[in-house]
């Protein structure tokens, strides 16, 4: 069962790059909110759309004292290559080893595909999940940006879909 709104967020242990310190949820506690966004695979169309939506709205998240952690079970090298290709300026983290351990703690690992579902968890500075959304691997989270920003007290109308799409889907 997936972690939900009101639950204490489980610990995180993610890799951004092989030679950097691992990312822990405790790094953010008392300092900033975290939008933890799990997705199935890098370099795929729906995941790319979601990544671009987040980048287009990065300033709104930062203005709301919120760091974005975009996570899949791909290797950290693949994650960083994809981040550079997209020109993203937020954290792309790897849950590769031990394989899917973080997605499992959040209740969103799909054993059949060996990947995370589309799980999104907005975690406040005290470590409590204040908004969550879980979709299957094939269903895009159209409400990802608008609803999370609304929860943070941001202007929903200020959220923009990724470039090239005017309908937000």
User: How many residues belong to the chain?
Assistant: 169
Q: Where are the beta strands (DSSP E) in 40-90?
A: 66-72
Residue 162 sits at φ, ψ, to 5 deg, of -60, 155
Domains of the chain: 27-152 (3.40.30.10)
From 35, 47, 108, 159, active-site residue: 47
Q: Is 9 exposed, middle or buried (0-12, 13-18, 19+ CB in 10 A)?
A: buried
Flag whether the pTM goes above 0.85: yes
Q: Is the pLDDT of residue 168 over 90?
A: no
47 given a catalytic annotation: yes
* Pair 74, 52: CB distance under 8 Å: no
Mean pLDDT is lowest, of 97-101, 124-128, 142-146, for: 142-146
Q: Given this model, what pLDDT does residue 8 score?
A: 98
In 3D space, the residue among 145, 27, 13, 15 whose CA is nearest the CA of residue 80 turns out to be 15
């Amino acid at each position: 069962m997936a972690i939900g709104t009101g639950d204490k967020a489980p610990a995180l242990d993610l890799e951004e790059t092989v030679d950097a310190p691992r990312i822990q949820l405790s790094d953010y506690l008392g300092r900033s909110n975290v939008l933890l966004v799990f997705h199935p695979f890098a370099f795929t169309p729906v995941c790319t759309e979601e990544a671009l939506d987040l980048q287009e709205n990065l300033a709104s998240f930062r203005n709301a004292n919120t760091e974005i952690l975009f996570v899949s079970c791909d290797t950290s090298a693949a994650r960083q290559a994809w981040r550079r290709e997209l020109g993203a300026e937020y954290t792309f983290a790897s849950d590769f080893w031990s394989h899917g351990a973080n997605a499992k703690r959040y209740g969103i690992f799909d054993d059949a595909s060996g990947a995370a579902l589309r799980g999104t968890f907005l975690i406040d500075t005290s470590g409590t999940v204040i908004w969550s959304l879980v979709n299957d691997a094939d269903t895009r989270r159209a409400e990802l940006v608008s609803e999370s920003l609304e929860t943070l007290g941001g202007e929903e109308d200020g959220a923009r879909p990724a470039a090239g799409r005017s309908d937000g889907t």
